[in-house]
A and B are shown apart, each in its own frame.
Chain A
Amino acid sequence: MIGFRLKATIIKEIWAILRDPRARLILIAPPLVQLFLFGFASTMEVNNIRIGVLDLDGGRWSREIVERLAGSPNVKEIVPLHSDADLRLAIDRQRVIVALRFDPHFSSNVSARRGGVVGAVYDGRRSNAAQIVSGYIERIVGETGAISLPRTPTAIGGSVATHWFNPNLKYLWFVMPALVSVIAAVSVLAVVSQSVARERELGTYDQLMVSPLRVHEILIGKMLPPIIVGLANVTLFVVLLPTIFGIPLTGTLSLFYLALFFYLLALAGIGMLISVISATQQQAFLGMFAIAVPMIILSGYASPIDNMPAWLRVITWFNPPAWFLTISEGTFLKAMPVGEVFSNTWPLILIAAATTISASALFRSRME
């Protein structure tokens, strides 16, 4: 049963969060903006490619390659170049990401089976996109090469790729469930970390101390409302993702919410630790910022954890968003079974226990 004092303090804290119209806006608007703007912005696909072409050959095979490139859905524009200086400038100014150069004898070399070579200059400043584009170009040039031979004696075998969980490899399907994890983290941390620090800066902390409230009642009262805000935000996403973005929801929602509760509790625990340590709101904000940025970068949202060095991967074990990101991806896309959800949830339970216990211990020691 929930005590009278506890109930009163929870109601008071909920009002404290919802009273200020600007603060109210901050709780609702950012998650939506983040979802729409940043969700669509976070793409690792490379589309709308601009390719420069310096065709000194003008023969059959160079035209064949250029036509095939122009027909590719990822290519937006073929920019004709007229000289080597032109080519250099186009790359320098980032007008094109790659420039192809066909020698005067390119087509005759291909026809005579001497092996035609296409020169390609990529803008290495955008190394990731350039690598992906080079993959496209190699493939198209390879295909053109294959048809240039009258009969292909050695086209042996091949491979058929099947992409489970996301057959068309839509990046959005990955980003949106990942954003659920990130946005919940940011909103809960932002609110909880301010809670105690704000009272301390405004002087109402002492009033709190002389009230009959126990430490655990104060802490629950401070942590529960932001958890409710987090639950509401995530629920909004759970509704929007399948309906508006067409992302499948294949897993068990009850399991997802169970994991979500511990995730939010772990976040609130971390936020509370920051808040108890900070003397002012500014310190609390900076502390929150200093924790939230690495949490997001090391969550697997920006780049896969698999690509990180081993010592950094060990750090991700202590990172709640990394665990919940796996659960979120699993629940939306992979129909994640109970066992897998649980093996990603127990670390969250441990983190939640460790942070809430140490926050209340610190709070108590600061009272003396």
Chain B
Amino acid sequence: MNISLPLRRFTAMLVKETRQIMRDPSTFLIAFALPVMLLFLMGYGVNLDASRSRIGLSVQDSSGAALSLAGAYQQSRYFDVRAVATVPELKRQLVAGDIRGIIVIPQDFGREVARGGGIIQVITDGALPNTASFIAAYAEGVRAGWAMARVADSGYSRVPPISVSGRFWFNPELASRNFLVPGSIAVVMTMIGSLLTALVVAREWERGTMEALMATPIGMSEFLLTKVIPYFLLGLVSMTLCTLFAIFQFGVPFRGSVLALFVISSVYLVPALGQGLLISSVFKNQFVASQVALLTAFMPTMLLSGFVFEISSMPRIVQAATYLVPARYLIPQLQTVFIAGDDWSLFLPLMAVLLAFGFVLFLLCVRATQRRIA
């Protein structure tokens, strides 16, 4: 009886915590509604792939060549020609954002082409750098294709002296969705692990129920465990939901094993929960804890984990900061398990780092909690 007492105490606490979470309506909001919403937004709202750009044409020449090139732009699947007008009018539309680029076919274009030249001008909206470089590249592509076709018509055959035969491994259709959706699962687990935990535990501190619990004979590590285990399970449930959604709603491939996915996720939840718990025991105030969790857990996971933005392209100092973001070590694992398959030699070192993070965070947590009591 004496031996089983700690165990009974532990289970009793665990049951109590689990019930408390299940009764809270906000649990369902954050564990089910928010993840699904986030997945939808990432799946449909964030599209980094090239799509049709709205442009305006200014044709200042009436030669056959100019008109046929204008026709090539109108038929291109990369462009949506919104207006054919003068440059000042198109400039107004560019400032207003109605179009993103202007293609100017200048006077004498026809005569220049006949002489073997013919330069067009491409004006883009530099305020959107990505779209601008896309338009510049594809406008040149359409023009070069058109020129090539004219050369071919006039009897030359032209094989490019060197060409590239490119293959995109793992994601041949190049859908950015295929890496954004698995990446969102990292964000979802951060939301549950750090944000929800920080918020809920801070409320207990704020209301004084934490001290009441600590007055019970339960040990510190036991106590932290009972707080954390229900959220751990909630995180896994939510991750499963997201995975099903990713596969069946968005058609994201899943080439790895379910076991690997669960191991990876479980390991990640350790530092995530540790961080949430630490924030709540340091700040003990819901408003501050929520803001700190937002700033140190949610935002870095969105922006510094390599999920949307390439880490290698960031300035050196920011790159250094990414090493402190646990999600940085999760994103490659998730992307690999979804798109490429199991690769334990990639997973294991990253998992070790995450566990080390978790260990340090929990250690800090125990220290922070003890100090508060004293």
Least CB separation from A186: chain B residue: B294
| Binary contact track A296-339/B, C-beta < 8 Å → 1, others 0 | 01100011101111001000000000000010011001111100
Given contacts A26-B291, A125-B335, A334-B127, contact A145 B139 (CB under 8 A): no
Given contacts A115-B161, A117-B165, A118-B165, contact A169 B172 (CB under 8 A): no
Least CB separation from A101: chain B residue: B165
Which residues of chain A have C-beta atoms less than 8 A from B112's C-beta?
Answer: 157
Which residues of chain B have C-beta atoms less than 8 A from A65's C-beta?
Answer: 162
B64 proximal to A (CB < 8 A): no
Scan residues 205-251 of chain A and give those whose CB is less than 8 A from a CB of chain B.
none
Scan residues 138-178 of chain A and give those whose CB is less than 8 A from a CB of chain B.
138, 141-142, 144-146, 148-149, 153-154, 156-167, 169-171, 173-174
B163 proximal to A (CB < 8 A): yes
Q: Which of A33, A126, A186, A285 contacts B310 (CB 8 A)?
A: A126
Contact of A166 with B313 in the complex, beta carbons under 8 Å: no
Which residues of chain A have C-beta atoms less than 8 A from B44's C-beta?
Answer: 308-309, 312
Contact of B136 with A163 in the complex, beta carbons under 8 Å: yes
Q: How large is the interface on A (under 10, 10 to 19, 20 to 34, 35 or more residues)?
A: 35 or more
Which residues of chain B have C-beta atoms less than 8 A from A308's C-beta?
Answer: 44-45, 47
Contact of B165 with A120 in the complex, beta carbons under 8 Å: yes
Q: How many residues of B contact A (CB 8 A)?
A: 111
Contact of A302 with B200 in the complex, beta carbons under 8 Å: no
Contact of B168 with A298 in the complex, beta carbons under 8 Å: no
Which residues of chain B have C-beta atoms less than 8 A from A286's C-beta?
Answer: 26, 29-30, 34, 199
Give Cα A40 to B292, complex, Å: 20
Contact of A124 with B162 in the complex, beta carbons under 8 Å: no
Least CB separation from B98: chain A residue: A340
Scan residues 303-321 of chain B and give those whose CB is less than 8 A from a CB of chain A.
303-304, 308-310, 312-315, 317-318, 321
Contact of B304 with A41 in the complex, beta carbons under 8 Å: yes
Contact of A156 with B126 in the complex, beta carbons under 8 Å: no
Contact of A127 with B178 in the complex, beta carbons under 8 Å: yes
Contact of A43 with B139 in the complex, beta carbons under 8 Å: no
Give Cα A197 to B169, complex, Å: 51
Which residues of chain B have C-beta atoms less than 8 A from A302's C-beta?
Answer: 45-46, 308
Least CB separation from B169: chain A residue: A124
Most buried by B among A126, A283, A330: A126
Give Cα A126 to B311, complex, Å: 11
Which residues of chain B have C-beta atoms less than 8 A from A20's C-beta?
Answer: 285, 288
Contact of B165 with A128 in the complex, beta carbons under 8 Å: no
Q: Which of A61, A92, A142, A198 contacts B340 (CB 8 A)?
A: A92
Given contacts A33-B295, A156-B147, A169-B132, contact A43 B163 (CB under 8 A): no
Q: What are 17 A-B pairs at a CB distance below 8 A?
A: A26-B287, A41-B304, A76-B312, A118-B163, A120-B166, A123-B169, A144-B162, A157-B147, A158-B140, A159-B136, A161-B123, A190-B290, A281-B287, A290-B37, A302-B45, A302-B46, A303-B48
